[in-house]
Amino acid sequence: MAQTTLTKRDKKELATREEIRDTAATFTPRCDIAETDDELLLFADVPGVDANDVDVRYENGELTVYGKCASRQQGDNYLGYEYGVGDFYRAFTIHEAIDADKIAAELKNGVLTVRLPKSEAVKPRKIAVKA
């Protein structure tokens, strides 16, 4: 059986890692995109982010998600940092015709859900066949 060992790092090394992370421009949250007949759905993992710290925009066929995640590390007892903090950014080119007036976004339990309704012109529709 393999064994994992965590070692405590000294304060100087932690401070250096913190400074490096603070100078990084952005981190990239993980996202899933789903499509239904009526809409596109974007799910972004942004745990610890407040809804007031998220900016979602749709313009010229591009969806952008900006935000800020405050540091949750308190003190210097952490052995490692893998959780993204600071500014985050994602951009997506949307090839479907979207009804921009009906786009909605919700942040719940650390998951940002963006609903991008398709315009009526691109929704699948059944064509009646006359006899």
Query: Residue 57: which of 66, 49, 48 has the closest Cα?
Result: 66
How many CB atoms within 10 Å of residue 117?
18
Say if CB 66 and CB 89 are below 8 A apart: yes
Segment 48-97, tens digit of pLDDT: 889 999 999 999 889 999 998 877 666 667 777 676 677 888 999 988 88
* Res 79: pLDDT: 74
Domains with residue ranges and CATH for the chain = 27-119 (2.60.40.790)
Query: Residue 39: which of 100, 111, 129 has the closest Cα?
Result: 100
The span from the CA of 83 to the CA of 47, in Å, is 9
Query: Residue 63: which of 20, 18, 98, 32 has the closest Cα?
Result: 98
Q: Which of 29-38, 47-56, 97-106, 120-129 has the lowest mean pLDDT?
A: 120-129
Mean pLDDT of the chain: 77
pTM of the model: 0.69
